[in-house]
């Protein structure tokens, strides 16, 4: 597109040390039903461009949705002027970008059926039927269904000669049943957090069948007991639950911008400081975390990031030891590294990209181990499925998590459902207490589409994954 060249040429003329332009169109379809009422049937388009200029070691970022040559030139100028202003407040020589070569490439999320091609009527009928089935149980007073499809079409050019054409797509179905009695209300949700695939995933999921267990388990939860006391117990966590746990306690602490203190005013910083690289026992020896922006179906899989750095796969934690961070061209040099791991992403065209969590997952156990064997090998504990309340401090050390469904384990058997279970732990206690991980047959990916970070807030997406895993000696109880 000619606008890419106009912007880059102008930035070079002005004397930018580096500049890029991202023309970005985001199309979103949202369908949300409460009981039998369609609360949202939305189609939203955001289309514009953001221009980043690095001048005198400082950034300026300007955005616009006006597509004329004049508007592009003015936006470049604005970004340049803003960078010059920024340079009045810098440390030393300011920002230096890690080395990267240029690319001319394209990427497209592989999918079979475009979710935007499925008529709204068909989608609405499916989710209406799901809500109706959930409400067939008399205790289910509220049934909610949510479907989101999003495509992002990006053209990227930079002053180092990179030209990219990126088209990504994801969908996220969620269904929730809420059982309500005179003295309590409990919900159960099916939500795999979204995936970079097409409508074919909806066909595979059999949401109508899933609505049955979602409703039944909401009622079971309503009638379930609570744990009477908090004490040290064994936890078995399912992959969906682990997705959120690893997001908060491994993903965020290993974002290099947080490590460097760049989010100190809001999202927070990280305990996982650079002197710990290569020697800090983050987890037990069976704990291996991989950053992988090449993961098929991964929500952060886009070919390249918004620095023009290709997707990569690397160990963040290997054999329990902290190895590396998720980095960008801007953050990596601050720890003496001259390459980026490709984690710089912006949400919409008007957002300046920031260091984000990549697709991040826990590798499965090497020994054959089924979830049934894991449970039968556990004398006493709690098995947690799905995601619930989550709260973690601004250094990413201490946390408290709930869940969506809970089973009490006794003598190797699931003996009764529980509700309102919370567990509290910290880094490094938690991941070091992991003593068993099921094998690769039970590994599942789970997405996060609403990772909030930055000021003004940006919402990023990424995929996590795990096999069921066991954690010993964790404080588990209720709210008090």
Partner 1 sequence: MKELVSRIYEIIKKEHKADDYEVYISFSDNHEARFAQNAMSQHMTGQIVKVVYKASIDRKTASSSVNQYDEDTIRHLVKTTEDLARISQEDPEYIDSMGKQDYPKTDNIKSATMNLTPEMIVDIIKDAVDFAKSKGTKLSGIFSLNKTSFYFYTKRGFQGSYDTCSYEFSMTMKEGERETKVSTAGKDFSKFSLQSQLDQLYSQFSSLDKPNAMEPETISVILRPQAVANIMMYLRWLLDRRMADDGITPLKGQIGKQFFGEKFNMSTVEKDDNMTIVPFSNDSVLKQIDWIKDGVLKAQPISRTYANMIDEKPSSMFNVLIEGDTTSEEDMMKMAGRGLIINNFWYIRTNDMRTFDLTGMTRDGVLYFENGKVKHSVNNFRFNEKLHEITRRIMALGESTIVFNSSVVPTMLIKDFHFIDRTNF
Binding mask 153-182 for partner 1 (x = CB under 8 A): -------------------------x-xxx
Minimum distance, C-beta of residue 98 to partner 1, in the bound complex (Å)? 16
Indicate which single residue of 370, 373, 400, 473 sits in contact with partner 1 (rule: CB under 8 A).
400
Tell me, by CB under 8 A, how many residues bind partner 1. 80
Token pair 């404080």 is found at 475
444 CA to centre of own chain: 15
Footprint (CB under 8 A) of partner 1, residues 405-424: 420, 422, 424
146 CA to centre of own chain: 18
Per CB under 8 A, which region of 120-128, 148-156, 405-413, 435-443 contacts partner 1?
A: 120-128
Binding mask 299-338 for partner 1 (x = CB under 8 A): ----------------------------------------
Q: How far apart are CA 283 and CA 428, in angstroms?
A: 7
Footprint (CB under 8 A) of partner 1, residues 359-388: none
Footprint (CB under 8 A) of partner 1, residues 211-240: none
Identity of the residue, 103 or 401, whose beta carbon is nearer to partner 1 in the bound complex? 401
Identity of the residue, 203 or 393, whose beta carbon is nearer to partner 1 in the bound complex? 393
The region that residue 140 occupies, defined by phi over 0 for left and psi between -120 and 50 for alpha, beta otherwise, is beta
Footprint (CB under 8 A) of partner 1, residues 72-111: 75, 78, 81-83, 85-91, 94
Per CB under 8 A, which region of 148-156, 167-175, 193-201, 344-352 contacts partner 1?
A: 344-352
| Interaction between residue 265 and partner 1 (CB under 8 A) | yes
Minimum distance, C-beta of residue 40 to partner 1, in the bound complex (Å)? 7
| Interaction between residue 142 and partner 1 (CB under 8 A) | yes
Footprint (CB under 8 A) of partner 1, residues 444-463: 454-456
Per CB under 8 A, which region of 56-64, 193-201, 239-247, 287-295 contacts partner 1?
A: 56-64
Minimum distance, C-beta of residue 292 to partner 1, in the bound complex (Å)? 27
Minimum distance, C-beta of residue 91 to partner 1, in the bound complex (Å)? 5
Per CB under 8 A, which region of 159-167, 212-220, 350-358, 466-474 contacts partner 1?
A: 350-358
| Interaction between residue 136 and partner 1 (CB under 8 A) | no
| Interaction between residue 59 and partner 1 (CB under 8 A) | yes
Q: How far apart are CA 460 and CA 453, in angstroms?
A: 8
Identity of the residue, 67 or 106, whose beta carbon is nearer to partner 1 in the bound complex? 67
Identity of the residue, 210 or 395, whose beta carbon is nearer to partner 1 in the bound complex? 395
């Amino acid at each position: 597109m000619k606008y890419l060249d106009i912007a880059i040429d102008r930035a070079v003329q002005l004397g930018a040390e580096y500049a890029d332009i991202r023309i970005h169109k985001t199309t979103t379809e949202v369908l949300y039903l409460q009981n039998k009422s369609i609360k949202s049937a939305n189609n939203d388009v955001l289309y514009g461009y953001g221009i980043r200029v690095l001048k005198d070691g400082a950034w300026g970022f300007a955005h616009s949705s006006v597509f004329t040559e004049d508007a592009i030139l003015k936006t470049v100028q604005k970004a340049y002027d803003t960078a010059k202003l920024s340079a009045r407040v810098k440390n030393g020589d300011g920002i230096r970008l890690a080395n990267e070569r240029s690319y001319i490439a394209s990427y497209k999320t592989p999918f079979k059926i475009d979710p935007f091609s499925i008529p709204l009527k068909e989608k609405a009928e499916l989710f209406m039927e799901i809500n109706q089935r959930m409400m067939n149980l008399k205790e289910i007073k509220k049934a909610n269904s949510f479907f989101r499809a999003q495509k992002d079409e990006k053209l990227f050019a930079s002053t180092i000669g990179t030209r990219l054409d990126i088209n990504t797509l994801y969908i996220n179905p969620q269904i929730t049943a809420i059982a309500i009695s005179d003295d309590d209300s409990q919900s159960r949700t099916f939500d795999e957090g979204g995936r970079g695939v097409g409508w074919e995933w909806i066909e595979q999921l059999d949401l109508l069948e899933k609505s049955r267990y979602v409703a039944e388990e909401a009622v079971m939860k309503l009638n379930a007991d609570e744990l009477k006391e908090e004490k040290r117990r064994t936890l078995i966590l399912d992959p969906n639950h682990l997705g959120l746990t690893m997001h908060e306690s491994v993903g965020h602490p290993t974002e290099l911008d947080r490590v460097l203190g760049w989010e100190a005013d809001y999202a927070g910083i990280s305990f996982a400081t650079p002197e710990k690289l290569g020697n800090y026992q983050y987890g037990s020896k069976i704990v291996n975390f991989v950053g992988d922006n090449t993961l098929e179906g991964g929500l952060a899989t886009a070919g390249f990031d918004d620095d023009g750095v290709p997707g990569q796969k690397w160990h963040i934690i290997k054999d329990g030891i902290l190895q590396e961070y998720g980095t960008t061209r801007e953050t990596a040099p601050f720890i003496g590294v001259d390459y980026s791991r490709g984690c710089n992403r912006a949400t919409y065209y008007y957002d300046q990209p920031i260091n984000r969590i990549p697709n991040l997952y826990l590798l499965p156990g090497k020994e054959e181990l089924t979830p049934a064997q894991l449970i039968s090998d556990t004398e006493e504990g709690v098995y947690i499925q799905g995601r619930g309340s989550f709260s973690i401090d601004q250094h990413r050390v201490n946390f408290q998590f709930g869940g969506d469904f809970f089973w009490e384990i006794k003598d190797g058997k699931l003996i009764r459902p529980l509700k309102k279970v919370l567990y509290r732990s910290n880094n490094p206690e938690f991941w070091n207490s992991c003593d068993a991980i099921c094998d690769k047959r039970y590994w599942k990916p789970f997405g996060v589409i609403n990772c909030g970070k930055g000021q003004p807030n940006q919402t990023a997406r990424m995929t996590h994954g795990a096999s069921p895993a066991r954690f010993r000696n964790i404080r588990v109880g209720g709210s008090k």
